[in-house]
Amino acid sequence: MMPTAVLALPILLALAASVAAALVPRRVSPGLGALAAVACCTVYAMLGWQAGSQGWFSHFWSVPALGVAGGLRLDGLASVFALLITGIGTLIFLYTARYLHDDPRSRQLVTLLLLFMMAMLGAVTADDVILLFIFWELTSLASFFLVGYHHESAEARKAALQALLVTVAGGLALLAGLLLLVQAAGTTRISGILEAREVILAAPAATPAMLLILLGCFTKSAQVPFHFWLPSAMAAPTPVSAYLHSATMVKLGIYVMARLSPLFAGEALWHVLLTGFGLATALIGTVLALRATDLKRILAYTTVAALGTLTLLLGIGSPLAIVAALTFLVVHAFYKAGLFLTAGIIDHETGLRNATRLRGLGRAMPVTAVGAVLAALSMAGLPPFLGFLAKELMYEAVAYAEYFRLAAAAGLFLVNTGTVAIAAVLAIRVFGGTLAPTPRAPHDPPATMLAGPLVLGLLSLAAAIALPVTAARWLEPAAAATLGRATGVELALWHGFNPILLLSAATVLAGLCLFRVWPALGQWLRARTLIDRYGATQGYDAALRGLTTLARASTECFQHGSLRGYIRLLFGAAAAALLLPLVLGGGLATPAFELVWWDIRYLAFAGLAVGAIAATRARTAFVAVMAVGLVGFATAVLFLLFGAPDVAFTQFSVETLMAVIIATTLARIPIPQADTRRRGQKRLDALIAITTGAAVSAILLAILAQPLDTRLSDWFGQYSLLAAHGHNVVNVILVDFRALDTLGEITVLAIAAFGVVALLRSGAARPGRAAREPAAPPGPVAIEPQTGSRDPA
Amino acid sequence: MRPSLILRTSATPILVMAVLYSLYIVLRGHNSPGGGFIGGLIAGVGILFFAIARGRQEALRCLRAAPTTLCGLGVLLALTSGIPALLVGQGYLTHQWFFIPLGDSQIPMGTALLFDVGVYLTVIGTVCAIFLNLIRR
C-alpha cells in the first residue's frame, strides 16, 4: 500500500465547505456544495484510478493514549463507495439549488448535506474501528436533522426520531461488537483486525461480536425487522431521500458487512444469517412496494428490497456473489437516485405523488421522461444496461449458493419480477398514455434538476458499454477487497444463450404481466389491513410506549417525594450492598486484638455511644441534631487520638457547620417537633438503622482482618518531601499526587452548591408546589408531614 | 428576634480572626495539619457566625462576591494551576516549584498553593451558598 496524506483532504474539504455553506449567500450555497463534491470526487477518482488492488493508506493521525491507532485507507471497496458518495452528491447539490430555491432555510440543508457527505467519506475510508464508529454515528445524526428538516410537521419529527432511535441503537450494538473484535485482535486498525482472523475466530467473543455487528448493520441498512424506519424517513425533502436513503447512508451497513466479510467468511452462522435476513427483507420489501401508492414510498420499499438482495448476495459469499453484490450496489445507486430525483421533479411540477393517479406525463415533460425511462430500464435489468449484468450475476451466484439455494433462487425471482413491475409502473404508467389531471400543469424543470436523472441514467448505460474499464478499475478491486483475494470472475455483458439468460427473460415477462395487474394487485394488497395492524411500525410504537410506561413506573417507585422513603431506600440499599457480598462470599472476619483494662480512648467511645443512644431516644428534632452532633465530635476525638489530626480537624469543622446549619434551618421551618411515626414504621426504621450500622461495622472489621498493605503509604511518605516539598503527607496527596481527584471533588462541591441555590430559589418562588405535584422538582418545604406525600405518615 | 448586642459586636472580631486563622491554616497546610479544605471550613464558620449575628445582607456585603461566584473562581483557579505543567511539557497538574531565597533558607513556592487556594475558595463558596440561601426567609 502506498502512504499518502491526501486521503484526509476530501474529508477536511467537505467539513470546511459545510461551514462556508452556512455563511455564503443562500443562492450560492448549493453551488458551493456541488463544487466541494466535485473536488472530492476528482481526488477519489484520481487516487482510485492509480490504486489498483493495492490501495492507499495514511496513518498521520493517531491517539495512542486512547488506543486509536489507525488512520484512513482507500482500497477498491472504499473507492467505489467514495465515488458514489461524491459523484451522486454533486448531482444532489445541483438539484437542491433549484428544488429548494424558494426555501429560506435551504442553506441549513446544504450545510447538513455537506456534513453528511464528510461523515460518509470518513466512514468508508476509516481504517480504524473507533473512527468508523464516530463517522457512522455522525451519519445517523445528520440523517436525523435531514429527515426532520420540515420540523414544523409532526410527522417529520416522528420519522426523524424513529430513524435516529433505530440507527443509533444499532450503532451502539455495532460499537460493542467492534470493541469485542478489538479486544480479540489487540488492535483498532481494521486491516489489522482482518489480518488477525484466526486469532479472532478462535476467541469466545467471536460469535457475540458478529451478532452485535450484524445488529448494527441490519438497523442501518433497514433489514427486517428494522425496515420500517426507511419508508418513514421519506418525510425528508426528496434530494435527501435520494442521497441518504437510497444511494449512500443505508448502504453503510452493507459496507461494514462487506468490509468484515473476509473475517467472517466461512462461518456458517454468518452465511445463514445474511442469506436468511437478506431474503426475508427482499421479499417483504417487494410486497410492501407493490402495496404502496406514494411514489417516494414505492421507491423506499424497493430500496428495502434492494438492500435485502445485497445482504443475501454477501451472505452467499462466493466470488461470483460478491462481484454480483458490488455490481448491483452501483447499479442500484444509479437508478434509485435517478428515480428519486424524478419523483421529486414530478412532485415539484405536478403537486402529486400518488402513482395510481399519475398518467401520461411523458408528453408534458419529455426530458424527465427520458431520465425516468433510462433509470427504469436499468432497474428492470434490460440489456445493454449495467442492471442487466447485475441481474445475470445475481442469478448465477444464487445457483451455487450454499444455504437455502432453492428458496433463495425462487425468492430472488419473485423480487426481480416485482422490481420489473415497479420499473414499468414508474416508466410506462406514469409517463405513458394520456395525461391525467394534476393540481399543477406539468412541464420540464430547468437543467440543473434534470442533470441528476439524465447523468445517472446515462452512467448506467456507459458503465455497461465500457465494461472492461469499469470492471478492471472499480468492480474487480472492490470485489477483491471484499473477498480478501482476487475474484477470478470475468465480467462480460453478454454471457451467451444459457439457462440464466432464459431466467432473465422470464423475469422480464413475468414482471410485465405483474405490471398489467398492478392496480388490482395493489388494491388487493392494501385491503389486507393485517399488515397495518401488526407491522414493524406498530412494534416500534409499542416498544416506545412500553419504555415510557417503564420510565413512569420506575419514577413513581423511586422518586415518590417522601424524604423518609428516600432515606429508608438509601440506607437499606447501602446496607444490602455491603452485607450481601460479605455474607454470601464468606468474607466475614474479625481482626485479632487484645483488650486492655483501661484506656483514655474509651472515653471517646463512650461519647459516641451516648450520642447514638440519645439520638434514638430524642423526642424533638432539635435534640436529635444535637445528639448526632455529639457522635460527630466523639468521632473527631477518636481521629485525633488515633493519629489523624487532619481528618480530626476537618471533622470538627464539618460537625460545627452541620450543627449550625441544621439548627438554623429547623428554627426557621415550622415542622412538628414530635415524632409522628407509627409503631410499625419505627420498628422498620430501627431495623434499617441497626442493619446499616452492623453492615458498616462488619466491613470495617473484615478490612482490618486483612494484612495492611503499606506500599502506597510508604511511597507517599517517602516522596512527599522529595517530590512535592511538603511534610504533611495528607495535604500533599490532596493537592499534588492526587490533585486531579481533588479537582473532581471541588467541582462536585461547586455543582452541589449551584444545585442547592437553584432548589432553594425555585422553592421560594413557588411555595408549596412540590407538595401538590410529585413530578415537580422538590422544594425545600418537602419535609415530611406537610407534603401530603403517599407516605402514610 | 434580634441578636444580643454582645453577639453583634463580637461578630466582626470573630470573623476577622476566623479568616486570618483560616489563611494561616491554608499556608501551613503543606507541612502541618491544615490545607485548603479545612481552611475553607474555618472561614465558613466565621462567616456563618457573622451572618447569624448581623444578618444575611451584611454577610453578603462582607463577601464582596456572590458565594456561587467564589465557587466558580475556586474551581477556575484549581483548573488553571495545572496549566503551567503543560507549558513545560509535563502532565496536567504536575505542580511546578520555584524557591524564594530568604536569608539563609529558601521558601518553596509552587502552583500547589494556587491549587489549594482554589479548594479554599470553593469550600467557602459552597458553605456560604448553602447557608446564606437557607436563611433567606
Per residue in A148-205, pLDDT (tens digit) is 999 899 999 999 999 999 999 999 999 999 999 999 988 888 988 998 899 999 999 9
Instruction: Pick the more confident residue, A363 or B90.
Output: A363
Q: B interface mutation test: which of A746, A748, A760, A761 has the most B CBs within 10 A?
A: A746
- Place A671 in a pLDDT band, splitting at 50, 70 and 90: low
Cα–Cα distances in Å, from A190 out to A57, A63, A262? 12, 16, 11
The H or E element containing residue B102 is: strand B97-102
Q: What contacts B68, CB < 8 A, 6 or more positions away?
A: A750, A753, A754, A757, B125, B129
In eight-state DSSP terms, residue A403 is S
Length of chain B: 137
Per residue in A58-113, pLDDT (tens digit) is 776 666 666 666 688 898 899 999 999 999 999 999 999 888 888 888 889 999 99
Instruction: Pick the more confident residue, A728 or A212.
Output: A212
And the C-alpha cell for A785? 408531614
Rounded to a whole number, what is the distance in angstroms from the first to the last CA of chain A? 75
Q: A interface mutation test: which of B24, B28, B37 has the most A CBs within 10 A?
A: B37
And the C-alpha cell for A602? 474509651
pLDDT in tens, chain B (137 residues): 678 899 999 999 999 999 999 999 998 888 888 889 999 999 999 999 999 899 889 899 988 889 999 999 999 999 999 888 888 877 788 888 888 887 777 777 888 889 999 999 999 999 999 888 888 76
Tell me if A664 and B93 make a contact (CB, 8 A cut-off). no
Give one word for A484, left, alpha or beta, with left for phi > 0 and alpha for psi -120 to 50. Answer: left
Residue A717 to chain B, least CA–CA distance (Å): 12
And the C-alpha cell for A536? 414493524
Instruction: Pick the more confident residue, A587 or A775.
Output: A587
Give one word for A67, left, alpha or beta, with left for phi > 0 and alpha for psi -120 to 50. Answer: left
3-state SS of chain B is CCCCHHHHHHHHHHHHHHHHHHHHHHHHCCCCCCCHHHHHHHHHHHHHHHHHHHCHHHHHHHHCCCHHHHHHHHHHHHHHCCHHHHHCCCCCCCCCEEEEEECCEEEEEEHHHHHHHHHHHHHHHHHHHHHHHHCCC
Q: What is the pLDDT of residue A39?
A: 94
Contact between A285 and A302 under an 8 Å Cβ cutoff? The reply is yes
Per residue in A452-471, pLDDT (tens digit) is 999 999 999 999 989 888 88
A643 touches chain B (CB under 8 A): no
Torsion over CA: A45, A324, A302, A534 (sign) = negative
The H or E element containing residue A316 is: helix A295-316
Could you tell me if A224 and A303 lie in one domain?
A: no
Tell me if B135 and A664 make a contact (CB, 8 A cut-off). yes
Angle at B21 between CA B19 and CA B27, to 5 degrees: 105
Q: What contacts A232, CB < 8 A, 6 or more positions away?
A: A158, A159, A162, A163, A537
Residue B48 to chain A, least CA–CA distance (Å): 8
- Which ipTM did the prediction report? 0.91
Tell me if A653 and B42 make a contact (CB, 8 A cut-off). yes
A724 touches chain B (CB under 8 A): yes
In eight-state DSSP terms, residue A57 is E
Tell me if A728 and B127 make a contact (CB, 8 A cut-off). no
Domain count, chain B: 1
CB atoms within 10 A of CB A17: 27
Q: B71 to chain A: which residues are within 8 Å by CB?
A: 749-750, 753-754
Domain count, chain A: 4
How far is the C-alpha of A420 from the C-alpha of A510, rounded, in Å?
Answer: 8
Q: What is the pLDDT of residue A60?
A: 61
Could you tell me if A198 and A305 lie in one domain?
A: no
Q: What is the pLDDT of residue A268?
A: 92
Q: What is the pLDDT of residue A670?
A: 67
Per residue in A111-126, pLDDT (tens digit) is 999 999 999 999 999 9
Q: Where do the H-state alpha helices sit in A317-466?
A: 319-350, 366-380, 386-399, 405-424, 430-431, 447-465
Q: Where do the H-state alpha helices sit in A517-600?
A: 518-527, 530-533, 536-558, 563-584
Tell me if B93 and A740 make a contact (CB, 8 A cut-off). yes
Q: What is the pLDDT of residue A703?
A: 87
Could you tell me if A300 and A235 lie in one domain?
A: no
Q: What contacts A688, CB < 8 A, 6 or more positions away?
A: A568, A571, A572, A575
How far is the C-alpha of A172 from the C-alpha of A662, rounded, in Å?
Answer: 46
- Place A783 in a pLDDT band, splitting at 50, 70 and 90: very low
Tell me if A750 and B92 make a contact (CB, 8 A cut-off). no
Torsion over CA: A55, A59, A64, A68 (sign) = negative
Q: B45 to chain A: which residues are within 8 Å by CB?
A: 653, 656-657, 660
Q: What is the pLDDT of residue A778?
A: 41
Q: What contacts B135, CB < 8 A, 6 or more positions away?
A: A664, A668, B51, B56
Q: What is the pLDDT of residue A788?
A: 36
Per residue in A423-443, pLDDT (tens digit) is 999 999 999 888 888 888 888
Residue A776 to chain B, least CA–CA distance (Å): 20
Which residues form the domain of A365? 265-317+339-518
Which of B:57-116 have CB within 8 Å of A?
A: 67-68, 71-72, 74-75, 78-79, 82, 92-93, 95, 97, 108, 110, 112, 115-116
Could you tell me if A255 and A176 lie in one domain?
A: yes
And the C-alpha cell for A39? 473536488
B129 touches chain A (CB under 8 A): yes
Residue carrying C-alpha cell 436499468:
A378
In eight-state DSSP terms, residue A25 is -
Phi, psi (5° rounding) for residue B106?
Answer: -125, 145
How far is the C-alpha of A384 from the C-alpha of A381, rounded, in Å?
Answer: 9
- Place A674 in a pLDDT band, splitting at 50, 70 and 90: low
A719 touches chain B (CB under 8 A): no
B137 touches chain A (CB under 8 A): yes
Helix and strand numbers, DSSP H then E, in chain B: 6, 2
How far is the C-alpha of A762 from the C-alpha of A769, rounded, in Å?
Answer: 10
Contact between A312 and A275 under an 8 Å Cβ cutoff? The reply is yes
How far is the C-alpha of A511 from the C-alpha of A518, rounded, in Å?
Answer: 10
Give the three-state DSSP class for B100.
strand
Tell me if A753 and B68 make a contact (CB, 8 A cut-off). yes
How far is the C-alpha of B43 from the C-alpha of B34, rounded, in Å?
Answer: 13
Which residues form the domain of B108? 5-134
Mean pLDDT of A539-563: 90
Q: B122 to chain A: which residues are within 8 Å by CB?
A: 746, 749-750
Instruction: Pick the more confident residue, A774 or B96.
Output: B96
Residue type at position A533:
R
Residue in B38, B122, B133 nearest the CB of A757: B133
Tell me if A734 and B119 make a contact (CB, 8 A cut-off). yes
- For B118, nearest residue in chain A (alpha carbons): A746
Q: What contacts B40, CB < 8 A, 6 or more positions away?
A: B22, B119, B120, B121, B122, B123, B124, B127
Residue carrying C-alpha cell 470538627:
A652
Per residue in A384-415, pLDDT (tens digit) is 899 999 999 999 999 888 888 899 999 999 99
Could you tell me if A278 and A190 lie in one domain?
A: no
Q: What contacts A636, CB < 8 A, 6 or more positions away?
A: A648, A651, A652, A655
Give the three-state DSSP class for B90.
coil
Could you tell me if A252 and A293 lie in one domain?
A: no
Per residue in A619-635, pLDDT (tens digit) is 878 888 889 999 999 99
Could you tell me if A182 and A279 lie in one domain?
A: no
The H or E element containing residue A73 is: strand A72-74
A-B interface: how many C-beta pairs under 8 angstroms?
145
CB atoms within 10 A of CB B6: 9
B1 touches chain A (CB under 8 A): no
Could you tell me if A139 and A110 lie in one domain?
A: yes
Length of chain A: 793
Tell me if A750 and B71 make a contact (CB, 8 A cut-off). yes
Residue B132 to chain A, least CA–CA distance (Å): 9
Tell me if B118 and A746 make a contact (CB, 8 A cut-off). yes
Could you tell me if A109 and A47 lie in one domain?
A: yes
Residue carrying C-alpha cell 472504499:
A78
A664 touches chain B (CB under 8 A): yes
Domain boundary among A536, A558, A580: A558
Residue A744 to chain B, least CA–CA distance (Å): 9
Q: A668 to chain B: which residues are within 8 Å by CB?
A: 134-135, 137
Cα–Cα distances in Å, from A288 out to A337, A523, A607? 20, 12, 79
The candidate with the shortest Cα–Cα distance to A515, out of A445, A429, A400, A394, is A429
Residue B115 to chain A, least CA–CA distance (Å): 7
Could you tell me if A469 and A421 lie in one domain?
A: yes
Strand order in the sheet with A2-3: A2-3, A56-58, A72-74
Tell me if A739 and B127 make a contact (CB, 8 A cut-off). no
Residue type at position A577:
A
Instruction: Pick the more confident residue, A118 or A247.
Output: A118
The candidate with the shortest Cα–Cα distance to A417, out of A503, A355, A497, is A503
pTM attached to this predicted model: 0.74
The residues pairing with B101 across neighbouring beta strands, listed in sequence order, are B106
Residue A304 C-beta-side C-alpha neighbours within 13 Å: 30
How far is the C-alpha of A225 from the C-alpha of A277, rounded, in Å?
Answer: 9
Cα–Cα distances in Å, from A337 out to A106, A300, A330, A562, B15? 20, 11, 11, 59, 76
Give the three-state DSSP class for A221.
coil
Instruction: Pick the more confident residue, B123 or A649.
Output: B123
Q: What is the pLDDT of residue A781?
A: 38
Residue type at position A590:
T
How far is the C-alpha of A355 from the C-alpha of A362, rounded, in Å?
Answer: 14
Phi, psi (5° rounding) for residue A69?
Answer: -110, -30
Residue A621 to chain B, least CA–CA distance (Å): 18
In eight-state DSSP terms, residue B115 is H
Cα–Cα distances in Å, from B58 out to A195, A754, B12, B23, B133? 72, 21, 11, 22, 14
Tell me if A664 and B30 make a contact (CB, 8 A cut-off). no
Residue A712 to chain B, least CA–CA distance (Å): 19
Could you tell me if A5 and A122 lie in one domain?
A: yes
How far is the C-alpha of A539 from the C-alpha of A228, rounded, in Å?
Answer: 10
And the C-alpha cell for A70? 489507525
